[in-house]
Amino acid sequence: MTALIGASGLATGHGRSPLLSGVDLALHPGQVLGLLGPNGVGKTTLFRCLLGLLPVLRGQLTLQGRDIARLDRRQIALAIAYVPQAQSLPFAFSARDIVLMGRSAALGPFSAPGPDDLRRADAALDRLGILHLAARDMTRLSGGQQQMVLIARALAQQAPALVMDEPTASLDLANRARIETLIAELARDGIGIILSTHDPDQAARLADQVILLGAGGVVAQGPMRQVLTASHLSGLYGTPIRREELSDGGLHFRADHQTGDHPAAG
């Protein structure tokens, strides 16, 4: 099966010096790939490369089997949608206008959104429970509401792959649960998803595969339970991490600051 996003020996960064190197990944339909790592190791840099915004300095990057260097901006947007951590807006667009921007790749160069695009935009807002915000000025929404609108924009794009950069970081508990449920639903619908998170519990709930990213590149990657171990996470974050098995089969991780303790096995 051709990967939605494929990378082999990928190195990327700003200028000629790679911030990341040796990245291998393959995202397939219906798969959720979790990306974890400390601040500053290049998670967003990797995402910008996957979106064609930063160059491939070494290795190979493909979208649906096609070399990204051979794709134009519209072809990339049809293959992959992106949810940033936050976005500053130069003008006071409405929430609906922002979501309609996700339809631009499906339109011709000089085409305006039509009734079908408007229906798709409103359906994305409604799926997130924020259709009532459609006419609101985006700059007057809370940070959490703005994030929900950006997720709706990505849904309206209807790309087969979705890249989400800490999508729940600014959300309250209820909306965080809503987005986690949405991610699981999208994966069941066959969408391939890469998401970065600082919460290993969230990665354990959502991800099939996990990549741990440290300074300079990949520290570990593979199936979630094999990668999210106490020893891997303790080394990655430089502090003792304890892994606990929950009665429902899930995993919970916590920092263990007790002197003399060592991370639990697992």
DSSP, residue by residue, 45-112: HHHHHHTTSS-EEEEEEEETTEEGGG--HHHHHHHEEEE-S----SS--BHHHHHHGGGGGGS-TTPP
Residues 6+ apart with CB under 8 A from 148: 128, 129, 130, 171, 175, 179
Residues 215 and 238 in one domain: no
Domain that holds residue 117: 5-223
Residues 235 and 195 in one domain: no
Look at residue 256 in the predicted model and tell me its pLDDT.
Answer: 84
Q: What is the DSSP string of 165-197?
A: ESTTTT--HHHHHHHHHHHHHHHHTT-EEEEE-
Q: Please state the domain count of the chain.
A: 2
- DSSP strand pairing (5-12 vs 20-27): antiparallel
Q: What is the pTM (predicted TM-score) of this model?
A: 0.91
Residues 249 and 199 in one domain: no
Residues 168 and 234 in one domain: no
Classify each residue of 95-125 as buried b or exposed e, where b means 16 or more C-beta atoms within 10 Å of its C-beta: bbbbbbebbbbbeeeeeebeeebeebbbebb
Look at residue 166 in the predicted model and tell me its pLDDT.
Answer: 94
Residues 253 and 200 in one domain: no
Residues 159 and 253 in one domain: no
Q: Name the burial class of residue 197, with classes exposed (0-12), middle (13-18) and buried (19+) by CB atoms within 10 angstroms of its CB.
A: buried
CATH number at residue 210: 3.40.50.300
Residues 130 and 155 in one domain: yes
User: Of 205, 223, 241, which marks where a domain is finished?
Assistant: 223
Residues 68 and 195 in one domain: yes
pLDDT tens over the chain, length 266 residues: 899 999 999 999 887 788 899 999 999 999 999 999 999 898 999 999 999 999 999 999 999 999 999 999 999 999 999 999 877 776 789 999 999 999 998 887 777 889 999 999 999 999 999 999 999 999 899 999 999 999 999 999 999 999 999 999 989 999 999 999 999 999 999 999 999 999 999 999 999 999 999 987 899 999 999 999 999 999 999 999 999 999 999 999 999 876 444 444 44
The tokens of 98 are what?
Answer: 């922002």
Query: Residue 237 CB: number of other CB atoms within 10 A?
Result: 17
Residues 192 and 256 in one domain: no
Look at residue 90 in the predicted model and tell me its pLDDT.
Answer: 65
Look at residue 259 in the predicted model and tell me its pLDDT.
Answer: 47
Residues 158 and 254 in one domain: no
Look at residue 116 in the predicted model and tell me its pLDDT.
Answer: 95
Residues 201 and 253 in one domain: no
Residues 248 and 215 in one domain: no
